[in-house]
Chain A
Amino acid sequence: MTYLFILLYAITLIYFALSERVKKFVWLLSIQGFMLFGIVFFSLNKIDLFDFIFILTETILIKSIIVPWFLNKVRKHNKLKRIQETSVPVFFSIIVVVISLIFSFLLSNSLNSDNIHTKYFNVAFASILFGIYFIIIHKNIFSHLVGYLIIENGIFLFSLAVGSVMPMMVNLAILLDVLMGVLVLGVFINRIGDAFESTKIDKLSKLKD
Chain B
Amino acid sequence: MISLLLILISSLFFVGIIVKVKAKIAARKMPSILQPVYDVIRLFKKGAVYSQTTSVIFKIAPLAYFSSVALAVLFIPIGSNEGLLSFEGDFVFFAYLLGIGKFMTIISAMDTGSGFEGMGANREALYSMLIEPAFFILVGSLALFTNNVSFHDLFLHLKLDTNLYYIIGIASVYVLIYIAMVENSRMPIDDPKTHLELTMVHEVMILDNSGFDLGLIHIASWLKFSIYGALISNFIISNSWAFYWQILAFGGTQLVFSAIVGILEAFRARNKMGKNPQWIIMLSAISIVVFLTALIITKKIILN
Other CB < 8 Å A-B pairs besides A4-B163, A102-B292, 18 of them?
Answer: A4-B166, A7-B289, A7-B293, A10-B289, A11-B171, A14-B286, A15-B282, A17-B285, A89-B278, A91-B281, A94-B282, A97-B285, A98-B284, A101-B289, A114-B304, A118-B303, A118-B304, A119-B303
Interface residues of A in 86-126 (CB under 8 A from B): 89-91, 94-95, 97-98, 101-102, 105-106, 108-109, 114, 117-119, 122
Complex A-B: 13 CB contacts under 8 Å: A3-B164, A3-B293, A4-B163, A4-B166, A7-B164, A10-B289, A14-B285, A14-B286, A17-B285, A98-B284, A101-B288, A102-B288, A105-B295
**How many A residues face the partner with a CB closer than 8 A?**
29
Check B292–A105 contact: CB distance below 8 A: yes
Check A91–B292 contact: CB distance below 8 A: no
Check A1–B163 contact: CB distance below 8 A: yes
Check B286–A11 contact: CB distance below 8 A: yes
What chain B residues lie within 8 Å of A90 (beta carbons)? Answer: 275, 278
Interface residues of B in 257-304 (CB under 8 A from A): 275, 277-279, 281-282, 284-286, 288-289, 292-293, 295-296, 301-304
Closest to A114 in B: B304
Check B289–A109 contact: CB distance below 8 A: no
Give the CA-CA distance A64 to B284 in the complex, in Å: 28
Check B301–A109 contact: CB distance below 8 A: yes
Query: Is B167 in contact with chain A by the CB < 8 A criterion?
Result: yes
What chain B residues lie within 8 Å of A8 (beta carbons)? Answer: 167
Smallest CB separation, A190 vs chain B (Å): 31
Give the CA-CA distance A106 to B295 in the complex, in Å: 11
Give the CA-CA distance A11 to B288 in the complex, in Å: 10
Query: Is A80 in contact with chain B by the CB < 8 A criterion?
Result: no
Check B164–A101 contact: CB distance below 8 A: no
**How many B residues face the partner with a CB closer than 8 A?**
24
Check B304–A119 contact: CB distance below 8 A: yes
Among candidates A1, A18, A95, A117, residue contacting B279 with C-beta atoms closer than 8 Å: A18
List 7 tightest A-B contacts by C-beta distance, closest first.
A119-B303, A90-B278, A109-B301, A91-B278, A118-B303, A14-B285, A98-B285
Check B281–A95 contact: CB distance below 8 A: yes
What chain B residues lie within 8 Å of A10 (beta carbons)? Answer: 289, 292
Among candidates B164, B171, B275, B303, residue contacting A122 with C-beta atoms closer than 8 Å: B303
Smallest CB separation, B289 vs chain A (Å): 6
Interface residues of A in 1-51 (CB under 8 A from B): 1, 3-4, 7-8, 10-11, 14-15, 17-18
Smallest CB separation, B266 vs chain A (Å): 22
Closest to A109 in B: B301
Encoded as 1 (CB less than 8 Å from any B CB) or 0, chain A from 64 to 91 comes to: 0000000000000000000000000111
Encoded as 1 (CB less than 8 Å from any A CB) or 0, chain B from 153 to 182 comes to: 000000000011011000100000000000
Give the CA-CA distance A122 to B303 in the complex, in Å: 9
Give the CA-CA distance A101 to B292 in the complex, in Å: 9
